[in-house]
């Protein structure tokens, strides 16, 4: 439990800029450094959390904590990630109130958007690398991404409806694929 707490506290104190950096750090610590999960298990957990209401990263922390250490892992993972982040956010908000009108503060905020966009793109490439498939399945994956993106970009359809639709199409076309997570493999 101590090691799990160290990992999630590190994520809670180091992830700056939102979801992309948090997801990147969780993957780095749990998949690459500590090998607590396979890349596929991590990607499946993230995909599952995308379907949950509320804050997806909190759901992911809870799910990963549960898979690694049961119900105690849920408590350690969620609190380890959220408490340090909340303290840092409160302190930075108070500090920003003091310098909000400074040109340097405006310039720093303007630079965050392209950095966040780059991190998002980089993380997408890393996650896709671990989930890549070949043949018809790859075509289905690419097609679903393109269609979902186009629908979200060109229409006013709810993102929830797009996710449900993509999940339904994925189930129809990819439903015979064997699960690779520990729970699915043992059933």
Instruction: Give 67-99 pLDDT, tens digit per residue.
Output: 999 999 999 999 999 999 889 889 988 988 888
The whole-model pTM stands at 0.64
Domains of the chain, residue spans: 2-103
**Considering just the CA atoms, what is the radius of gyration of the chain in Å?**
19
pLDDT at 17: 65
**pLDDT tens digits for 128-167?**
666 666 677 777 777 888 888 888 889 998 888 888 888 8
Report the distance separating Cα 74 and Cα 71, nearest Å: 5
Q: Select from 38, 40, 32 the least CA-distant residue to 7.
A: 32
Q: In this predicted structure, what is the pLDDT of residue 133?
A: 66
Read off the pLDDT band of 177 (50, 70, 90). low
pLDDT for res 116: 74
d(CA 164, CA 159) in angstroms, rounded, equals: 9
Q: Give residues with Cβ within 8 angstroms of 124, minimum separation 6.
A: none
Q: Cα(156)–Cα(85) distance, rounded to whole angstroms? A: 34
Residues 127 and 43 sit within 8 Å (Cβ to Cβ): yes
Q: Is 135 left (phi over 0), alpha (psi -120 to 50) or beta?
A: left
If one counts every other C-beta atom within 10 angstroms of the C-beta of residue 60, the result is 24
Calculate mean pLDDT across residues 115-127: 75
């Amino acid at each position: 439990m101590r090691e799990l707490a160290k990992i999630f506290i590190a994520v809670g104190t180091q992830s700056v800029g939102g979801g992309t950096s948090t997801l990147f750090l969780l993957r780095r610590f749990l998949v690459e450094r500590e090998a607590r999960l396979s890349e596929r298990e991590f990607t499946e957990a993230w995909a599952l959390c995308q379907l949950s209401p509320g804050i997806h990263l909190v759901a992911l922390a809870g799910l990963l904590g549960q898979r690694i250490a049961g119900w105690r892992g849920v408590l350690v993972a969620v609190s380890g990630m959220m408490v340090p982040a909340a303290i840092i956010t409160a302190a930075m908000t108070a500090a920003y109130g003091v310098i909000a009108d400074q040109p340097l503060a405006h310039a720093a905020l303007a630079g965050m958007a392209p950095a966040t966009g780059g991190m998002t793109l980089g993380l997408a490439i890393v996650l896709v690398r671990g989930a890549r498939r070949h043949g018809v399945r790859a075509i289905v994956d690419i097609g679903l991404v393109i269609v979902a993106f186009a629908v979200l970009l060109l229409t006013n359809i709810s993102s929830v409806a797009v996710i449900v639709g993509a999940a339904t199409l994925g189930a129809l076309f990819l439903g015979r694929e064997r699960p690779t997570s520990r729970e699915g493999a043992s059933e």
